[in-house]
Chain A
Amino acid sequence: AQSVTQLDSQVPVFEEAPVELRCNYSSSVSVYLFWYVQYPNQGLQLLLKYLSGSTLVESINGFEAEFNKSQTSFHLRKPSVHISDTAEYFCAVTHSGAGSYQLTFGKGTKLSVIP
């Protein structure tokens, strides 16, 4: 079984400042990792994913996350946030073997960008 811990429930940050949303996971097997974003009254949208290969993955809107196997982390970063980044962000994990079809999500981190 896997688990995900998002260490901060809320993160306020000023516009154009950098931000890091922390995610740690626990698993006894190899994993795939994901970040999803949820805007108010909407479903979740995939932001980025790590399946294999380069440990640094990037999204089209400037976010990046780095898979660190030794620290079992997959922190999300953005060098300069915008008001439109205000949303809730969820880290999720699934094990990479065949036969696993469920994502295990963290409790989410609410990012509030202050003008």
Chain B
Amino acid sequence: EDKVVQSPLSLVVHEGDTVTLNCSYEVTNFRSLLWYKQEKKAPTFLFMLTSSGIEKKSGRLSSILDKKELFSILNITATQTGDSAIYLCARISSGSARQLTFGSGTQLTVLP
């Protein structure tokens, strides 16, 4: 079951802080890594990472993949209360099956 492991499980910060969320994954048949933000109930797509060392950015969020060390990080700078959510990391396997495996998520709480 531990094909995707996220840390920390929960994090509480204050507005303006910078946070780094971690995701490590199993290398077998690895194709890509995804990050999602889950507010209330439904996850929304953030990033897809396939190549190592190439940073993807969207506003205050950025993410990078390290295929040598088998992990990815999601950075959020100048956090806002609206960033409070569960952040999910997911691994896509290669091949025709295209299995998608999610980690358990990191619960981020941003206090005013």
State yes or no: do A and B come from one complex: no
On B, residues with C-beta under 8 Å from A are: none
